[in-house]
């Protein structure tokens, strides 16, 4: 037998042995179980169209702004693209079977705007960074008010076409990131926040007027939220941390709850901050049934004691200092991504803050997870004990927030599969399931089997 054949046979034997052994293994769930959470609480996994589908230019799909963006050399690690990604376009049935095998209830995915024109509950997101390139070229996309009506028309088409099966709709994923990294920093394709809020509100209006009662569904939005902890107990650092929260989640959630931007932003940004008309206030305020919060990490914040910059911009308006350790002690273990520190107590504080400050909304914790480097060996990738510890500790803090009164009705792990991770390409792996990018075969990791055990129903 040739060496290559021996290697392949050994790999098959090893992975089969791994799967069989870990599917029977008893895991430490930290006293967590499905019964720890209220009846009807949803556990799911999440992904987005461009990151997992592949088939980027097939079957009538037009190009998105990401299809154009990734073609610029040096933008993406190793100049990778999502042209093939992990080919969920063809393998979705296999992936749904995986989710069911792992005892998940729901799958949060996004519908690719540029592509438009059973057993797992669908949670559909209408926009996950992938604006049709045609709109960007026609009128600069989200920089023009025309996008408000165009997005609402697209949303209406989706409600009409898929609303008999989709009962949970989300308009935008992380509009703050879309605006800040696209328009302010120029790291991602360009976008603009005020038009995102108005586009969301117009889509919600159309859904509520014509489809919601008939289809018995609900609608909301995904907002990202890093917890900002004051570095010291000083009044200045506490003010700085609150300023960061207002410029982060408050930028979008404050208008959606109260119909106006946070007072902190009004005071600092002044005339540069757009204003809502009276009719827009009525449309924007209370424009969600469920609030989806994406939470991964936490940072320390301090008052830099320096005058505001002469350069105007999002980060300059914050005028805060970021720290990742206090008295020489790191805030948490860092995952592969430079921005991602494992800080479980931040989950409790973030959820509790949203609950108390914004009227105890119905919250779904819609993204949570950590990544490993893409260059780990196959066995190292499968034995992801750090990810197991991450999920166990974060879920315990989420449960603690719920016990203290937070109205949380669901939790989604990011992500079910290793996929195209935006600027990091395939050098970052967030998945519960390992994907071999050579043949696209799927292999559940240790963390997948941890969830499988934790989510088992006692009466099954």
Chunk the chain into consecutive blocks of 10 residues (it has 460) and report each block's average pLDDT, rounded to whole numbers.
Answer: 34 48 76 96 92 73 82 90 85 93 94 68 89 90 93 97 96 91 58 89 98 98 99 98 98 98 95 94 99 99 89 88 98 98 99 99 99 97 98 99 99 95 89 96 98 87
How many distinct structural domains can be found in the chain?
Answer: 1
Helix axes 250-258, 193-206, angle to 10 degrees: 40
Residue of 384, 355, 389, 350 lying closest to 367 (CA atoms): 350
15 domain-assigned: yes
- Does a structural domain hold residue 460? no
Residue 459 lies in a domain: no
Nearest in space to 282 (alpha carbons), one of 343, 185, 175, 205: 205
- Residue 114: DSSP 8-state: G
- Residue 132 is part of a domain; what is its CATH number? 3.20.20.80
Distances (CA, A) of 174 to 252, 255, 414: 10, 15, 14
Contact call for residues 417 and 95 (beta carbons, < 8 A): yes
pLDDT, residue 10, reads 35
Q: Is 367 a catalytic residue?
A: yes
Domain range for 313: 3-454
**Cα separation of 278 and 270, whole Å?**
19
The CA–CA distances, whole Å, from 453 to 302, 364, 402, 435 equal 41, 22, 22, 22
pLDDT, position 309: 80
Q: What is the pLDDT of residue 64?
A: 86
Residue 110 in any domain: the answer is yes
213 burial type by CB count under 10 A (0-12 exposed, 13-18 middle, 19+ buried): exposed
- Of 53, 229, 342, 367, the catalytic one is 367
Asked if the structure places residue 416 within a domain, the reply is yes
DSSP-assigned beta bridge partners for residue 442: 435
120 falls within a domain: yes
* pLDDT in the model for residue 119: 65
d(CA 118, CA 217): 17
Nearest to 165 by CA among 117, 220, 217: 217
Per-residue pLDDT, 460: 54
Residue 316 domain-assigned (yes or no): yes
Q: Under the phi-then-psi rule, with left for phi > 0, alpha for psi from -120 to 50, and beta for the rest, what region is 186? A: left
27 Cβ contact list (under 8 Å, min separation 6): 388, 449, 450, 453, 454
Task: Note whether residue 397 is domain-resident.
Answer: yes
Do β-strands 168-173 and 227-230 pair in parallel, antiparallel, or remain unpaired?
A: unpaired
pLDDT of 143: 87
CA dihedral 352, 358, 360, 365 (to 10 degrees): -60
- The catalytic residue among 174, 202, 280, 342 is 174
């Amino acid at each position: 037998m040739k060496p290559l054949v021996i290697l392949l046979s050994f790999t098959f034997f090893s992975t089969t042995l791994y799967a069989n052994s870990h599917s029977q293994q008893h895991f430490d769930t930290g006293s967590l179980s499905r019964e720890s959470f209220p009846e009807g609480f949803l556990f799911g996994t999440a992904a987005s169209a461009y990151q997992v589908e592949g088939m980027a230019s097939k079957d009538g799909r037009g190009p998105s702004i990401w299809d154009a963006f990734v073609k610029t050399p040096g933008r993406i690690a190793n100049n990778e693209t999502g042209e093939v990604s992990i080919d969920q376009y063809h393998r979705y049935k296999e992936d749904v079977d995986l989710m069911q095998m792992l005892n998940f209830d729901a799958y949060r995915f996004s519908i690719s705007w540029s592509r438009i024109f059973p057993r797992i509950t669908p949670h559909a997101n209408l926009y996950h960074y992938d604006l049709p390139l045609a709109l960007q070229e026609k009128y600069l996309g989200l920089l023009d008010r025309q996008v408000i009506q165009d997005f609402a028309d697209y949303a209406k088409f989706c409600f009409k076409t898929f609303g008999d099966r989709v009962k949970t709709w989300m308009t935008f994923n992380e509009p703050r990131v879309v605006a800040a990294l696209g328009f302010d920093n120029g790291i991602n394709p360009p976008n603009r926040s005020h038009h995102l809020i108005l586009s969301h509100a117009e889509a919600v209006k159309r859904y509520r007027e014509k489809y919601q009662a008939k289809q018995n569904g609900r609608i909301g939005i995904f907002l990202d939220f890093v917890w900002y902890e004051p570095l010291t107990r000083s009044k200045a650092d506490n003010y700085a941390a609150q300023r960061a929260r207002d410029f982060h989640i408050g930028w979008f959630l404050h208008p959606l709850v109260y119909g106006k931007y946070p007072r902190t932003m009004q005071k600092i940004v002044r005339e540069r901050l757009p204003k809502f008309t009276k009719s827009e206030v009525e449309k924007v305020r209370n424009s969600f049934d469920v609030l989806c919060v994406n939470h991964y990490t936490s940072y320390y914040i301090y008052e830099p004691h320096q005058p505001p910059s002469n350069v105007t911009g999002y980060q300059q308006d914050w005028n805060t200092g970021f720290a990742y350790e206090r008295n020489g002690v790191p805030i948490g273990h860092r995952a592969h991504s430079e921005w991602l520190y494992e800080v479980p107590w931040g989950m409790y504080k973030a959820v509790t803050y949203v609950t108390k400050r914004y009227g105890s909304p119905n919250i779904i914790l819609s993204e949570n997870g950590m990544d490993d480097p893409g260059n780990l060996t196959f066995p190292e990738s499968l034995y992801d004990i750090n990810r197991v510890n991450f999920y166990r500790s974060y879920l315990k803090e989420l449960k603690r927030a719920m016990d203290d009164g937070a109205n949380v009705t669901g939790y989604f792990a990011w992500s079910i599969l290793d996929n195209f991770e935006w600027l990091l390409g395939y050098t970052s792996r967030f998945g519960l399931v390992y994907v071999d990018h050579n043949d696209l075969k799927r292999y559940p990791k240790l963390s997948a089997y941890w969830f499988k055990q934790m989510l088992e129903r006692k009466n099954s």
